[in-house]
């Protein structure tokens, strides 16, 4: 196993439970990829490195198989999952309860229920299909088709089903989690899936930081006999020991230096062409007393979206996709301490905020992030006692899958979102005996659900049981 992100650990889980002898190689000293905890910008504060809120993990069958609570993992939920303030002082609120959310959206309430109610009520069944490659027969075709009515069209079209500025902004803000233009078809699947999962299980955080989720899984894997080699980057195939299966939790382009000389040409070229998307620029803030939101309801939300109205969000996301840095970028604010007070140090609250910026953006977006905070929470700057920035280059340095600062492991353009590097019913097998891609570049894509790793590992086990040749 090359790479120890959530999908790498998930693949290791499936293989180890099947009796396969597994060794995980990780380039960095710490395991987990984006699912780690840091202490930033002050030593007494608990902050998430990247992954922070986990609707997909909380609804994941694979995660449930670990019995996480018995391993010390505690899910914590804020009173409000997400808030979206607007310039006129109003606010849209996303609750775990679809009825509470709908009641707050006024005349858009019944539409919200119609759009997301069926998927939320049957999210476990829906997951059977959306957590698998798309070129397969669905288990629940009618449910998937109904979900597709919301997830398939461009979000800029779907928002037209909603009439109020608050409803449109709330939907557009979640759709912007794709970190890409939202005027294209299919990319709305990310936002629609997050909303449905949230109404099913909420947007929980891990008490003590996301790293505790990784720690629990790693401890379980060690119990299964899995070995971990940290601070061990794999740059050439010969650095790997003899093996039957090579599972690669890697960006597709990073596979080419390892296997490009032996891959089938069509697969090698597809991996090399795989595009990274726009980037994130992250600020970790220590804020005395928390953010002074103009609308106080935002103070009870675990996540706050700062992007203005629906039209503004569409324009800024289109701009970053075209390489333009907007004056007012979309900013996602994480207030995980609202759900988990243990992350704070008295009155000093840890807040993280990341802006969507163009791929490889070399400038400093700190000022733009703080300006967006001031826009909806005047006086924020005066409360900041410390801050630490991570540019796209910094993020890429902490995780080789984050090329150019793209934290989703690939642009979520329609084709790449649906199929990954190749249009195929088997996106995991790389055309060489025993070699598989299991990163978030493959279906079902990003999210701390581990399902890309689960799917790839099951594919590898089927081939192993058929007695095909080994990877080495």
CATH number where 31 lies? 3.50.50.60
225, part of any domain = yes
Predicted pLDDT of residue 198: 98
Which one-letter DSSP state was computed for residue 345? B
190, part of any domain = no
Q: What digits encode the pLDDT tens for the residues 106-147?
A: 999 999 999 999 999 999 999 999 999 988 899 999 999 999
Token readout for 460 is 């590898």
Residue 472 clears pLDDT 80, i.e. is over it: no
12, part of any domain = yes
Predicted pLDDT of residue 371: 99
Q: What digits encode the pLDDT tens for the residues 144-169?
A: 999 999 999 999 999 999 999 999 99
What does pLDDT average to over the chain? 97
254, part of any domain = yes
81, part of any domain = no
Alpha carbons 250 and 105: distance in angstroms, whole number: 41
Predicted pLDDT of residue 138: 92
Q: What digits encode the pLDDT tens for the residues 251-280?
A: 999 999 999 999 999 999 999 999 999 999
Q: Which domain holds residue 434?
A: 6-75+205-274+412-465
Ordered DSSP codes for 358-407: -TT--S--HHHHHHHHHHHSTTHHHHEEEEEEE-HHHHHHH-TTSGGG-T
- pTM to 2 decimal places: 0.96
45, part of any domain = yes
Q: How many domains does the chain have?
A: 1
385, part of any domain = no
CA proximity to 376, closest of 283, 294, 301: 294
Q: What digits encode the pLDDT tens for the residues 182-225?
A: 999 999 999 999 999 999 999 999 999 999 999 999 999 999 99
420, part of any domain = yes
């Amino acid at each position: 196993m090359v790479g120890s992100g959530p999908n790498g650990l998930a693949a290791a889980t499936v293989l180890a439970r099947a009796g396969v002898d597994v060794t995980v190689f990780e380039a960095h000293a710490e395991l987990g990829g984006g699912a780690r905890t840091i202490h930033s910008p002050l030593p007494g504060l608990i902050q998430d490195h990247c992954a922070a809120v986990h609707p997909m993990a909380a609804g994941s069958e694979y995660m449930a198989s670990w019995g996480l609570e018995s391993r010390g993992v505690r899910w914590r939920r804020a009173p409000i999952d997400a808030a979206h303030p607007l310039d006129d002082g109003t606010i849209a609120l996303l609750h775990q309860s679809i009825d509470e959310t709908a009641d707050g959206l006024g005349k858009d309430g019944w539409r919200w229920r119609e759009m997301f109610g069926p998927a939320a009520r049957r999210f476990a069944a829906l997951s059977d299909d959306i957590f698998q490659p798309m070129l397969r027969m669905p288990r629940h075709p009618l449910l998937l088709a109904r979900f597709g009515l919301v997830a398939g069209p461009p979000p800029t079209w779907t928002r037209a089903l909603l009439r109020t500025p608050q409803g449109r902004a709330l939907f557009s803000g979640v759709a912007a989690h794709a970190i890409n233009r939202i005027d294209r078809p299919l990319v709305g699947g990310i936002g629609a899936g997050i909303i449905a999962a949230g109404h099913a299980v909420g947007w929980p955080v891990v008490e003590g930081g996301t790293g505790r989720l990784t720690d629990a899984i790693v401890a379980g894997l060690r119990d299964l006999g899995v070995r971990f080699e940290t601070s061990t980057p794999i740059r050439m195939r010969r650095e790997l020991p003899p093996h039957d299966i090579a599972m690669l939790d890697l960006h597709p382009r990073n596979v080419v230096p390892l296997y490009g000389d032996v891959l089938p040409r069509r697969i090698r070229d597809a991996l090399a062409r795989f595009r990274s998307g726009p980037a994130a620029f992250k600020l970790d803030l220590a804020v005395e007393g928390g953010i002074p939101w103009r609308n106080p309801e935002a103070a009870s939300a675990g996540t706050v979206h700062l992007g203005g109205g629906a039209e503004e969000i569409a324009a800024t996301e289109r701009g970053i996709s075209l390489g333009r840095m907007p004056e007012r970028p979309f900013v996602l604010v994480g207030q995980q301490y609202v759900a988990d007070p243990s992350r704070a140090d008295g009155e000093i609250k840890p807040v993280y905020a990341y802006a969507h910026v163009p791929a490889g953006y070399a400038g400093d977006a700190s000022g733009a992030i703080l300006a967006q905070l001031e826009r909806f929470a005047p006086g924020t700057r005066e409360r900041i006692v410390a801050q630490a920035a991570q540019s796209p280059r910094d993020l890429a340095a902490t995780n080789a899958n984050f090329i150019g600062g793209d934290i989703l492991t690939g642009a979520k353009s329609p084709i790449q979102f649906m199929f990954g590097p190749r249009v195929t019913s088997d996106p995991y097998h790389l055309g060489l005996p025993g070699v598989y891609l299991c990163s978030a570049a493959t279906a079902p894509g990003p999210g701390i659900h581990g399902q890309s790793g689960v799917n790839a590992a099951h594919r590898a086990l089927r081939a192993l049981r058929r007695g095909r040749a080994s990877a080495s």
